[in-house]
Amino acid sequence: MEKKLHRILAEAAVGVLRAIFEEGVVADRAVARAMGAHPKWGKRDRAMVAETVYEVVRWRRRLEVLAGSGDWWALAGYWWEQQGYARPEWATWPEAGAAAEREAALAGMPRAVRESLGDAFDALGEAELGGRWEVELAALNQAAPIFLRVNPRRGNVASVKAELEALGVVVELVEGCAQGLRVAEGKAVSNQLRESGRFEIQDAGSQQVAPFVQVAPGMRVVDLCAGAGGKTLHLAALMEGKGDLLAMDQHEGKLETLRGRAARATVKVRTAVVSEASLAAMAGQADRVLVDAPCSGSGTLRRQADLKYRITAASLAGVQAVQREVLERGAALVKPGGKLVYATCSVLPSENQAQAAWFSAGHAEFTLEEERSLAPSETGWDGFYMARWRRG
């Protein structure tokens, strides 16, 4: 049975696509802005707009070939019709026609077109990963599942699982992820549940970072690039409310969000904007420092598909310089016998192993204990890298 396409939703979706590709707005923000502008939309309406946007972004270059046009209406219209929506009388996009011929032509086009990413990023991926690149790219082009991390201060995995399933949200345990739950495909978690403090939405790969830091109750811990605090809250849970956890970031707005999340999760976190004074106050005092460094985000393409068109050699060089700067800052906070952890959500070795080798070569007082890489093709999670050093 064909589905009906509502014009107001279609127009909203195309407007979001324009914001992303013509104005440079990050996809998540553009979608959130559209949702905020239409508070009366129902769950299905929101899901339809979001799915349209994310899938057209994910497959933009491929759709340009199949639709025979780069016009946003043409791309979205082709995708809608492939999803079983009836072509409406008001349709403003041309009928694709000759789709079989275009599909045959697509097979002979460059990988960057077939897999829908920027030429520059494709060249970077191949140069750094060689034959692995195609495998990882295929995994990163899949839609991301929703993972939850249960907050042990507000319940346990079994109780939260039972609570969610009683509300119709089917979840399953995640092997290798002690507090993790995976939401069944097609199921959604309401905002009311999200704000309960019982769990956080956090990819299973991201959930590996905090345990890798090896915190314990009573320690002094610094999360140097805390952002909105997903990993900070995980560290706080592992510390069981004992010790001193300082979350730092350059943006006060992100720390404000973190404070609200910490209050809901009933965990104790101090916050401070990164400055010379705040860094000097913690110099040489931390048992553990986490540097969750700014990076290309190449490991998160399932969730942030617009990054596929933004990553270039120049943008990569820029974040690599920042990574070295924050590593230096983090190292200065670690006390003798303490540990430093560097983490990225990237699959590119130049941001990962190469940066760890650079740091080790210039800091004889730090001994590399362990490195860990999470490949999306092997785990089904986002791509992550972690390195841990001990200061002598």
pLDDT tens by residue, 49-81: 999 999 999 999 999 999 988 999 999 999 999
Share of the chain above pLDDT 70, in %: 99
Tokens of 80: 């809608």
Q: In 3D, which of 60, 64, 57 has the Cα closest to residue 105? A: 64
Confidence of residue 187 (pLDDT cuts 50, 70, 90): confident
pLDDT of amino acid 193: 81
Judged against a pLDDT cut of 90, whether residue 92 lies above it is answered with no
Q: In 3D, which of 213, 217, 304, 200 has the Cα closest to residue 257? A: 200
Judged against a pLDDT cut of 90, whether residue 2 lies above it is answered with no
pLDDT of amino acid 323: 98
pLDDT of amino acid 152: 92
Q: Please give the order of strands across the beta sheet that includes 146-150.
A: 171-173, 180-183, 146-150, 199-201
pLDDT of amino acid 191: 79
Distance CA 81, CA 93 (A): 11
Mean pLDDT value across the chain: 94
**What DSSP line would sit under 269-300, residue for residue?**
-EEEE--HHHHHHHTTTEEEEEEE-----GGG
Calculate ∠ Cα 305-307-310, nearest 5°. 140
**What DSSP line would sit under 161-190, residue for residue?**
HHHHHHTT--EEE-TT-TTEEEEPTT----
Residues 297-344: pLDDT tens digits? 999 999 999 999 999 999 999 999 999 999 999 999 999 999 999 999
pLDDT of amino acid 203: 96
Confidence of residue 286 (pLDDT cuts 50, 70, 90): very high
Is the model more confident about 102 or about 355?
355
pLDDT of amino acid 23: 95
What domains sit in the chain, N to C, each tagged with a CATH number?
7-109 (no CATH), 146-201 (3.30.70.1170), 206-391 (3.40.50.150)
Judged against a pLDDT cut of 80, whether residue 14 lies above it is answered with yes
pLDDT of amino acid 155: 87
Confidence of residue 194 (pLDDT cuts 50, 70, 90): confident
Judged against a pLDDT cut of 80, whether residue 179 lies above it is answered with yes
Confidence of residue 95 (pLDDT cuts 50, 70, 90): confident
Distance CA 364, CA 283 (A): 18
Left (φ > 0), alpha (ψ -120 to 50) or beta: where does 68 sit?
A: left
Residues 217-273: pLDDT tens digits? 999 999 999 998 999 999 999 999 899 999 999 999 999 999 999 999 999 999 999
The one-letter amino acid code at 229 reads: G
The one-letter amino acid code at 101 reads: E
Judged against a pLDDT cut of 90, whether residue 188 lies above it is answered with no
Is the model more confident about 358 or about 188?
358
Residues 6+ apart with CB under 8 A from 86: 2, 3, 4, 5
Confidence of residue 101 (pLDDT cuts 50, 70, 90): confident
